[in-house]
Structure 1
Amino acid sequence: SSLLGGARILTPFGVPTKKNNSIYLKKLNYLLNKQLNVSEYLLNKGSFTYINDLNKEFNLSLNEDSFDKNIFVFKTIKAIIHKENLKNLKNEINLYLNDFHLKNPLRKGVPLATINNLFFKGINLINEFQDEFQEKDNFVSLKTFKVKLSKDEKKIKDEILILLKKQEFNGLSFEKLNDHFHKNINFKEVFQYLTREGLIVKLNDYFLLKGFYQEALNRLDKFLIVNTQITLAEFRDLLKTSRKMALVYLENFDEKRVTKKIDSYRIKNNI
């Protein structure tokens, strides 16, 4: 630091700051006295801090083992947080997830990215909290949470599955299904749950049981082993559906690169 008219300049590249900014004042104090109380500094800061940033800012050489019992170290990202702030953070996440589960009992949890952005500055830290929270398939939930259908929801689930089973390869549009249940407020939630769980497959504007979709693929497969190519009419006969519905399947298979359209027939897409 240099002397300017008797005053020492501590931070030549200082950031403009409000007079009552306690962290800033503590920082000045540290630069004057070379005494940083890390625990107090972190407590004031609230969120986690990278050890490297702390070292740079205060010209220190701390590592993961430099801290006392008041400080929690995120080993994966070499960051630290005061245990008081960690407790608060856990409480916030807990309340947030609890609230979400109450409002969305049929959803697996909150998308991982949402949790990271809300609580961890966009970094994936949820695995540091495996005692309280769980992450599965990029969804975060409370450890104790399980998707549970109420009696009424179970009834709707069974009814939807029975309706779709009767339709076989034809499926039903959402409107038709909705009309069938139009007086039941739980229908949409259960329907979305079945789609999310993969029990129902969406084909264009139609919904059908996953089993029938799989079976359509199997029949196509067997046919193409013997015949190498298939027309729309042949596929319609395989499924015993309308031409319109058979086309919906084939266009889906084209899109998924299962089949490839050439002129008026399709072949297996061997990519």
Structure 2
Amino acid sequence: MKSNYIIGTAGHIDHGKTTLIKALTGKETDKLKEEKERGISINLGFTYMDLKSGDRAGIIDVPGHENFIKNMMAGVVGIDIILLVVAADDGVMPQTIEHAQILHYMGVDNAIIVITKKNLVDEDDLELVKEDIKISFEDTLLEDAPIIAVDSVSGENIDKLKDLIEEKIYASEKKEDDKSMRMNIDRSFTLKGIGSIITGTLTEGEIYKDREYMVYPKEAIVKVRSIENHDKPIDIAHKGQRIALNLTNISSNEIQRGDIIAEKNSLIKVKNVQTLLNLSKFEDVELRHWSRVRFFHGTKEILARAVPLDRKEIKSRDTALCEFRLEEEIYVKRGDKFVIRSYSPLMTIGGGEIIDTNEENHTINSTSYVSYLKNKENYSEIDEILDYLQEFRNFDQIFSHMGIEDKNLREYLEKIEENNEIDKIGDMYISRRSLNSWADDLENFLKTYHENHPLEEGIPREELRQKVKINLDSKNFEIMLKNKVITKKIMLQKGLVKNKSFAISLDQDQKKIDEIMKKIKDNEPKILKEADIIDKKEDRDILSYLCKKDLSKIYDFYLRKEYLDKLIEMAKTFMEKNGKMQVSEFRDLSELSRKQAVAVLEYMDKKNISKRIDDYRVLI
């Protein structure tokens, strides 16, 4: 499969970007009537360039005028190599600097600086422009970029530029990407007879014809009816390709620039993001708590408040941790790049990377969380998964958090499960460290329970699940209790959970047990209620314990199992002899009160020993 590359242009207004592209490709990117009339690019222009190798590289001509900076940022997303254009007769201008900053913050490090209109200056002035460029872009990702001067009208050095573009493309490795599919939408319109069309650069993963995806923020499920790349239909689009998609199940007026099409449930909806922010060296700027900024992510602009986390003020050239409280929700992935501009006057002042999506509000006083963020800066994918699995999560939750391809995520999970770093509990995952912590917590909870209920074999499983407030359903909780990490300390037996080391001890309670049993036996044939048997609530545990061994409880009455068997045998013998039996007859026979006699007979009915017919009982 041939690689897919996107070449972008950037630079100050009227520095010759569109003319340069025409010289490279023979095609114009200014297609709007207004663009033709005004001589500037208002929207993004798209074309392509065929390389000598036979590969085709898409070209995006982004607008240079300051008023169209948002469109410029939309064009930068997904670019592999940038042509930063500087006119020889003007040199480095304010928008040149701003575009260079945006490229730097968006991580575009493969660049060529093209000096256009070289025919308008002499060699000495040309050298001065080159020196100006080197000084301006020192300490940025563009500082080592090659510089070439061309004349787009006469074609001077255009072939050399083509060779340099191809050399740079193939010298830089196409970065492998395991992210799930995502495309930031920069255009949406309707074609008569075809339907809704969206365009953008596929920045991550692959997209397939006839598959379903999700459009954010609407969270609408759409189907891709067709895909086009440079006016040619394709079945699969790959990262780096400039594409148009024909969608079903949605109208174009429901989609706008800044929306995203991606795998279903693969993005995180947030209003707070924690970032590693780098402030511009080109502007004298300072961010304090609650500074208002314009936050650019993908192709979307959102107003936000800055909250420095590791210092009181973030100053020019600083790299710092900063939380942004967004004024509306956005959909992101961990590791996403962003740019910020000042609220007023408008100028690019910084950018960086999203390192967490914690919805809680943090400040400089959140010291433990700030420490956690500093460690998180260098997390690998596996580190991030293990961190996220401090709590029980299912696959869909992990997929949404990680934003990587389904198959790659499964490979990561299998690998760390084989290394005994995570455990699968039913359809949930958790880190081994957290599972060990749960084992300790359950052991401590049960220790307290056993101290308070020394004559109980254990706590019912479902009662335990609810009391410890674990985010597992009943089925998965039972599976967890059978996990080897848990069973080192805890035992599940007949629906009851107890510590392995626990055993009922009767030494201190034997005297009370003997007293209770004697009282119950001495009162026969009368049978007793709880209030007749014990004086203190603490003795209920003893009564409960005896019900599992020597006593039976029928409604509110307690009687020895041996005596209950005797009463049942008495009733059976009477019914075998007489065919049937009334309550009054059993009352007289057993010497019980009528209420007690009814209780015993209804117990026999429930046990399918007898059944009631009118006012009589007969044997089954």
Could you say whether these structures have the same fold, taking a TM-score greater than 0.5 normalized by the shorter chain as the test?
Answer: yes
Preserved contact between residue 112 and residue 140 of structure 1 (Cα < 8 Å): yes
Q: Provide Cα deviations, 1:51-77, integer angstroms capped at 9, x if missing partner.
A: 465357522321664325251332x62
Q: 1:60 corresponds to which residue?
A: 406
Q: Structure 1: how far apart are the matches of 2:567 and 2:74?
A: 83
The amino acid of 1:4's aligned partner reads A
Q: Structure 2: how far apart are the matches of 1:177 and 1:133?
A: 34
Q: Choose from 559, 565, 587 the match for 1:236.
A: 587
Q: Provide Cα deviations, 1:210-257, integer angstroms capped at 9, x if missing partner.
A: 221122222222333333211234323442434443233224334555
Structure 2: gaps (5+ residues)? 1-72, 79-183, 185-203, 205-215, 217-259, 261-266, 277-329, 338-352, 354-378
The amino acid of 2:270's aligned partner reads P
Q: 2:491 corresponds to which residue?
A: 134
Deviation at 1:186, TM superposition (A): 4.1
Q: Provide Cα deviations, 1:7-47, integer angstroms capped at 9, x if missing partner.
A: 4648735412422389x999422899xx9622432224411
Q: 1:174 corresponds to which residue?
A: 530
Q: Structure 1: how far apart are the matches of 2:540 and 2:399?
A: 53
Q: 1:82 corresponds to which residue?
A: 431
The amino acid of 1:29's aligned partner reads G
What's the secondary structure of 1:144's corresponding residue? coil
TM-score by length of 1: 0.78
Q: Choose from 53, 56, 73 the match for 2:423.
A: 73
Preserved contact between residue 491 and residue 500 of structure 2 (Cα < 8 Å): yes
Q: 2:273 corresponds to which residue?
A: 19
Q: CA, structure 1 residues 36+189, in 2 after alignment: closer, same or farther (shift >3 Å)?
A: same
The amino acid of 2:334's aligned partner reads L
Q: Which has the larger radius of gyration?
A: 2
Q: CA, structure 1 residues 69+229, in 2 after alignment: closer, same or farther (shift >3 Å)?
A: same
Preserved contact between residue 269 and residue 332 of structure 2 (Cα < 8 Å): no
The amino acid of 1:71's aligned partner reads E
What's the secondary structure of 2:423's corresponding residue? strand
Q: Structure 2: how far apart are the matches of 1:262 and 1:99?
A: 50
TM-score by length of 2: 0.37
Q: CA, structure 1 residues 97+204, in 2 after alignment: closer, same or farther (shift >3 Å)?
A: closer
Does structure 1 residue 121 correspond to structure 2 residue 472? yes
Q: May I ask how many residue pairs the two structures share in their alignment?
A: 257
Does structure 1 residue 192 correspond to structure 2 residue 549? no
Which 10-residue stretch deviates more, 76-85 or 89-98?
A: 76-85
Q: CA, structure 1 residues 187+14, in 2 after alignment: closer, same or farther (shift >3 Å)?
A: closer
What's the secondary structure of 2:505's corresponding residue? coil
Q: CA, structure 1 residues 102+15, in 2 after alignment: closer, same or farther (shift >3 Å)?
A: same
Q: Structure 1: how far apart are the matches of 2:567 and 2:593?
A: 14
- Answer 1 or 2: which has greater strand percent: 2
Moved over 6 A (4+): none
Q: Structure 2: how far apart are the matches of 1:84 and 1:204?
A: 47
Q: 2:565 corresponds to which residue?
A: 214
Q: 1:29 corresponds to which residue?
A: 335
Deviation at 1:159, TM superposition (A): 0.9
Q: 1:145 corresponds to which residue?
A: 502
Q: Choose from 32, 46, 49 the match for 2:393.
A: 49
Q: Choose from 510, 514, 517 the match for 1:158.
A: 514
The alignment's C-alpha RMSD in Å is 3.4
Preserved contact between residue 30 and residue 36 of structure 1 (Cα < 8 Å): no
The amino acid of 2:445's aligned partner reads Y
Identity level (%): 20
Preserved contact between residue 423 and residue 432 of structure 2 (Cα < 8 Å): no
Q: Structure 2: how far apart are the matches of 1:19 and 1:187?
A: 56
Q: 1:101 corresponds to which residue?
A: 450
Q: Choose from 586, 611, 620 the match for 1:260.
A: 611
Preserved contact between residue 422 and residue 429 of structure 2 (Cα < 8 Å): yes
